[in-house]
Amino acid sequence: MDNLLVYIVDDDAAVRDSLSLLLRLKGFENRVFASAEDFLAQSSSDWRGCLLLDIRMAGMDGLALQRELAQRGSALPIVFITAHGDAAKARAALKAGAVDFLEKPLDDQALVAALSEAFDLEARTRSASQVREIMGARLARLTGRERQVLEMVVEGRHNREIAVQLEISPRTVEVYKARMMEKMQARTLPDLIRSVLAAQSKA
């Protein structure tokens, strides 16, 4: 599925093997890890897909791994699985951003639905991140004065207001606007404003 992988982390070898086989039959390529520590030791920031994570494991448990990945800025969505119905842990996992919390034995349809949702989330997050990087690079090309004018444009100020504030002529404001739009590759002022909002977005 577009080079997306499901990274299975479970300390039960039989569960890992059965999940890996099931997911391959459902069309999900995957990799398996026997512990949270093994996953952390091998993981890379450029991995794409999602994490299928057992919540109770020897050593670092699933919630601890979720916290560690968040601290590292990981964008991998997480689907938790557990053999023990634990409402408190489920709430903690979901509150911290998990896509879903599934109980073993897993329902195939629920599992596929959760993983598909996780893949969709990962794609949206990665796309938004790429947009922020592109727009951030364009913003970095602006001069200090162009940045000042841009901020006022985004605030909705008119040319005469900007001119008075910066003690320049309205015509000079127009010149700065034209340069900004060229550097930001925006065709219209709404395009320009959307570009700035995209660069500042956190999601």
- Is the model's pLDDT at 116 over the cut of 80? yes
Residues 122 and 155 in one domain: no
Q: How many CB atoms lie within 10 A of CB 105?
A: 10
Please tell me whether residues 116 and 190 are part of one structural domain.
Answer: no
Residues 117, 145, single domain; the answer is no
In a shared domain, residues 103 and 33: yes
- What the block records as the tokens of 61 is 């448990």
C-alpha R_g of the chain: 23
Calpha distance 91→78 (Å, rounded):
14
Which pTM was predicted?
Answer: 0.66
Shared domain check, 51 and 103: yes
Residue 18 in domain = yes
User: Does residue 28 sit within a domain?
Assistant: yes
Does 15 reside within a domain? Answer: yes
pLDDT digits (tens, 9 = 90+) for 57-102: 999 999 999 999 999 888 899 999 988 767 788 888 888 889 999 9
State the residue range of the domain holding 154: 141-200
Please determine, for residue 156, whether its predicted confidence score (pLDDT) is greater than 70: yes
Residues 53 and 122 in one domain: yes
